[in-house]
Structures are given as C-alpha cells and as structure tokens.
Amino acid sequence: MDRQIWANVCGVSLAAAVTAAAPASAAAAPAQDRPNIIIILADDLGYGDVGVQGARDVSTPNIDRLAASGVRMTDFYANHATCAPSRAGLLLGKYQQRFGFYSNPARGEQANYGLPAAEETLPERLKTLGYATAMVGKWHLGFSPQHRPNAHGFDSFYGFLEGAFAYTADAPSGGKEAWRNGERTPMPAHTTEAFTKEAVEFIDQHKTKPFFIYASYNAVHAPLQTTQAYLDRVKDEPNPDRRRYLAMLMALDDGVGEIVKAVDRNGLRRKTLIVFTSDNGGPTWQTTSSNHPLNGVKVTTLEGGIRVPTIFSWPGVVPAGRTSAAAGMGMDITATALRAAKAPVDGLDGVDMMPYLKGQKAGDAHRQLFWASPQYSALREGRWKLVEAEGEYLLFDLKSDLGERRDLAAVQPKRLEKMKASFKAWSDTMSPPAKWEPIGRNPANKGKYAKLVRDYVNGVPVDPRPLLFGGGPE
C-alpha cells in the first residue's frame, strides 16, 4: 500500500461501531428456541482442493455431503489473505482493520498482541443468550492470558495459541505446546483427530441446550505431517509433498464427517447451523495446495489468496443442494449466526446471509468488499476488482477474467480512479495499525511485493518465501 493510502488508514473513532445491547425481546427468547451453531474453519485450504469445488486428485466425501445438504458459496471470501487478521474479522463480525489488525503479528511479539478487550466476539454474544461455547484447535489471536480464548467468551478451549503446530507427537518440527483452558496439556498423538474428538464430546455433553463450537483446525497448514494410515489412502499420488498434503486433507474431511455424525446421532441436525470455510487461500509454494481456477496464493489479494470454499448447512432452513454466487466475507458468518440465534447485529460490518442462502435476495450481500494490509489491498465491487500492491494498481473484470490475467487499469481509467477513491474513503474510517503490527518491514524488499503480484498476473508463479521470512506477512 503506498504511503498516502497507508497514512489514510488512520483515525475515525470506533464509537460508531460499538455494538448496541440486545433488546429485551431477544434476551428473553427461550434458549431452546435458538439453533446450535458450529463453525468449521480449515487453515490455508486451497479453493480447488475440495471435491465439490472440482478437485480431481482428492476425495472429500464428508465436505461434499455437507455441501449437498446446504448451500455452497462460489464467491465467498476470507477477511484477509493471512491467518490471524482473517480469524479476527470472522469472530468479531467486522473489518478487523477497525481496531488496527492488518497483518500477522511480528515474530517475538506476544505481550500486547491480540483482540482488544472492548471488542465483543461471537461466543461472548452467544453466552449472553444461554449458549455453551467451545473452541478446539488453532487460536492465533493472542498469547497473554487476557488474549486467550477463555478471555474472549469460550467456556472450553483445547488447542494451541500460535500460528502453526505439529500434527503428530513424534513430528520433527512445529509447536507442541497444547493447552486445555489455562493449563498446558500433553501433545496428542494426532492433532486433527484430537480436535475432532474434543468437538464430538462437547456435542454429546451439551445436546440439551444450545451450543456454539468453533472447530478451528490447523489442517491443512504447514508443516506437512501425517501418519501412514492417511498416506495409504492417497498412495497413488506420486509427488511426496502433495501426498502428505492430501493425507492431511483426508484427516480434516474425516473430522467434518465425525462432527456431522455427532449432530445427527443426537437428533440435532435440523436444529444446527453448520458453516464450513477457510481462513485464506492456499500457499501453493509451501503445501502444494491448489487454488484452481483462481490466480494468486495466500498473502496476496488476488482471488487465490482470499476467495475460499464455503458451505452453509441447516436442513429445513437452508435449501439443500443449492449454489449461490452472492459475494460475502468471513465476517458475515458471525452476523448470520447471530441472526439465526435471534440476536441483534448492530455495529457489525457483516450481514445476515440467510436471505441470500434461501434465494430470497439476489445479487451480492455487499456492494463493496475491502481488504487491506501493509503490502496489498483490494476492493471488489460487483464484477470489478481493484488490486493494489505497494502503490501499483491493477483492475480486473472477474466476470470475464476470473483468473485475473488481463489488467484493465489502462483502458478503464475512470473506473480505476473511482474505485481508488472508494478504497480511500473506506480506509479513512479504519484505525491506525496496532502497536504490535510489524510495520518496520525489510527495506530491501521494497518493490518486490508488487513484482510478486505482477508475476502471478503474467502467469509466472513464484516462491514468495524470501519476502515472507525477510520481513513480510508470515
């Protein structure tokens, strides 16, 4: 982002975004009339790595069945192209830039990093309505006690705090410090299976009252680690890295299946909203993830970095087997969940997707969608997409050029300037970067982020790791 626009990402008070208290009628509604809510969040899942999304070298029967039971979104986005900011936007139902969250934290920054105490998360809102709340898996939103899951509305937390984690107890790399609420706990034999088991047990234990589960898997984020049992299920894949990735995806798909089975076994399927999505696009250079047919990868605001597989399933409420092209974003999941729970959504940027899921409303849920980080920004407005990288601007017509290969900035100057003005107007309402934001990037990388985007647009996929570990967004 150029200096002028970055300077404009300063300053409007958040007072206008403070969430209003729930009206008495909402607070008084019987808890049993509210649906259970389960959000299953994959990590770094490629847009083209799910069977129902067109994957050819992998079978994801459980995710595919979930799609068949509900609505699959073709134009749904993460709030950011990297993990932590995306998760913040999802759990708070608003643009995370409103409170200065623009990128993953700087390495070694722990004390101040995390969600602001003044921001009310989805589980905090649901707890006031009588929900039992649980989280399993990856947090990545703060390390200090005041920034951990239990301080942000989760009754129960089992998982890890950092951005990446080992998958097996004998793995040679990756974090291995698991947590159960506020206490360290032994590393499980297989993290994906352990997180699934915890979610299933929570469903069994709370079947008589409304519950919220945030199943935040680290699969299929690096490191590429799995067990022989999963490798044997994809033995025909010749690429060893791809084989490990697909094996990890098998474990994730199994987890989705087990969670749905637990809901079914307890007779709760028609009382449960299940949402499946990813925190950002796939880092192909690192894990072999496929974002086909999109261009770009995690960390960029090309479609491959931000458009994610997303499914809403709620039998009897959400139509089965439907596909929707309504453009939405992770923050809309929180708004949809709250409205399903008969709660207000005042002060949120997210909108209730239910009318679009049911086909009651046509078009996009937002007239404009925005993304912003120190290196990249973007704006989608209908079929048009503005991409900015270090002050360079590209313009794409997604309707005719989904792969973002033809930059129309030079032939659409008026549209370009109008969209640049729209982005500036939005950024003027956001907050400056939080103190823990890694703003001091390596000056030697100046210009390389813009080149990375141009290379992808020109059909030259490159390895961005020198930028990531040289001061870029991890």
Range with the poorest average pLDDT among 184-198, 308-322, 443-457: 443-457
Distance in angstroms (rounded) separating the CA atoms of residues 447 and 440? 15
Q: Are 163 and 83 in contact (CB under 8 A)?
A: yes
Residues marked active site are found at: 83, 140
Q: In a 10 Å sphere around its CB, with 0-12 CB exposed, 13-18 middle and 19+ buried, how is residue 215 labelled?
A: buried
Give the pLDDT confidence score for residue 18 in this predicted structure: 33
Question: How confident is the model over 13-25, as pLDDT tens digits?
Answer: 333 333 333 344 4
Question: How confident is the model over 420-435, as pLDDT tens digits?
Answer: 999 999 999 999 998 7
Round the average pLDDT of the chain to a whole number and report it. Answer: 91
pTM of this structure:
0.92
Give the pLDDT confidence score for residue 23 in this predicted structure: 41
Question: How confident is the model over 376-406, as pLDDT tens digits?
Answer: 999 999 999 999 999 999 999 999 999 999 9
Give the pLDDT confidence score for residue 17 in this predicted structure: 35
Distance in angstroms (rounded) separating the CA atoms of residues 435 and 113? 8
Rounded mean pLDDT of 200-226?
A: 97
Domains in the chain, CATH or no CATH each? 24-357 (3.40.720.10), 369-468 (3.30.1120.10)
Residue 310, SS3 per DSSP: strand
Q: Which two tokens stand for residue 316?
A: 């009897």
The stretches of 266-329 forming alpha helices (DSSP H) are 284-287, 303-306
Give the pLDDT confidence score for residue 191 in this predicted structure: 98
Rounded mean pLDDT of 197-223?
A: 98
Rounded mean pLDDT of 90-115?
A: 87
pLDDT at residue 294 greater than cutoff 60: yes
pLDDT at residue 5 greater than cutoff 50: no
Q: How far is CA 313 from CA 107, 131, 171, 339, 365, in A?
A: 37, 20, 35, 15, 18
Residue 427 per-residue DSSP state: H
pLDDT at residue 128 greater than cutoff 90: yes
Residues 6+ positions from 41 with CB-CB distance below 8 Å: 87, 90, 137, 214, 215, 216, 217, 277, 278, 279
Q: Are 383 and 364 in contact (CB under 8 A)?
A: no
Give the pLDDT confidence score for residue 473 in this predicted structure: 40
Residue 18 per-residue DSSP state: P
Rounded mean pLDDT of 357-368?
A: 96
Percentage of the chain surpassing pLDDT 90? Answer: 81
Query: Angle formed by the axes of helices 61-68 and 240-265, to 10°?
Result: 50
Range with the poorest average pLDDT among 6-10, 210-214, 353-357: 6-10
Total Cβ atoms within 10 A of residue 398: 18
Distance in angstroms (rounded) separating the CA atoms of residues 213 and 202? 8
pLDDT at residue 333 greater than cutoff 60: yes
Rounded mean pLDDT of 120-125?
A: 98
